[in-house]
Amino acid sequence: MESNFDAVATEFSRASLFPPGYADTVLVNRVLNDVRSSDPVIATLSLKSLMNFVPGEPAMLSRLKIPFHLIVSDYTPTDEEAIKKYLKTSYTVKTIHGTGHYPMIEKPAEFNRLLEATLNQISLEKETALSVALPE
């Protein structure tokens, strides 16, 4: 990426963010244009940082003390067994089917519906925790 950012970043993004044969070329082109217009130095450093972050995820999950909520695509399935293994708090996973890495722009209505349901769930959890914590 450091010596040929446009070509490498474009191909990496196409291969890692969208399923093979992904039909929405408008969205693919939108994302790839955003990638190509990124500052190559910042984008390369960000990607390196992300790759260094991944091995530390189990330790971070084990330190989490609040409920964990995910809205994800089925393109890169969430490893719920790993979550169960490391997470010491409750969690939910809501999956949007048939998208790539960006379900929020690929299926915004479905994403927003799941986000609203998640926020309502968090609000209910907070109300329940507060009512348990307060004396009557």
pLDDT number for residue 120 = 94
**Residue 21, by phi and psi: left (phi above 0), alpha (psi -120 to 50) or beta?**
left
pLDDT digit string, tens, across residues 51-68: 887 778 888 889 988 889
Integer CA distances (angstroms), 100 to 58, 116, 119, in order: 24, 21, 23
Closest CA to 99 of 90, 108, 87: 108
Q: Is the pTM of this model over 0.85?
A: no
CB-based burial, 56-70: b 16+ in 10 Å, e otherwise: eeeeebeeeeeeebe
pLDDT number for residue 130 = 59
pLDDT number for residue 115 = 97
* Spans of all domains in the chain: 1-58, 64-136
Closest CA to 26 of 108, 107, 110, 106: 106
**CA 28 – CA 33 distance, rounded (Å):** 8
Q: What angle do CA 63, 86, 97 make, to 5 degrees?
A: 110
Task: For the chain, list residues with pLDDT below 50.
Answer: none
Whether the Cβ atoms of residue 73 and residue 101 lie closer than 8 Å to each other: yes
pLDDT number for residue 134 = 57
pLDDT number for residue 58 = 86
Whether the Cβ atoms of residue 71 and residue 94 lie closer than 8 Å to each other: yes
Element (H, E) at 81: helix 80-86
pLDDT number for residue 103 = 92
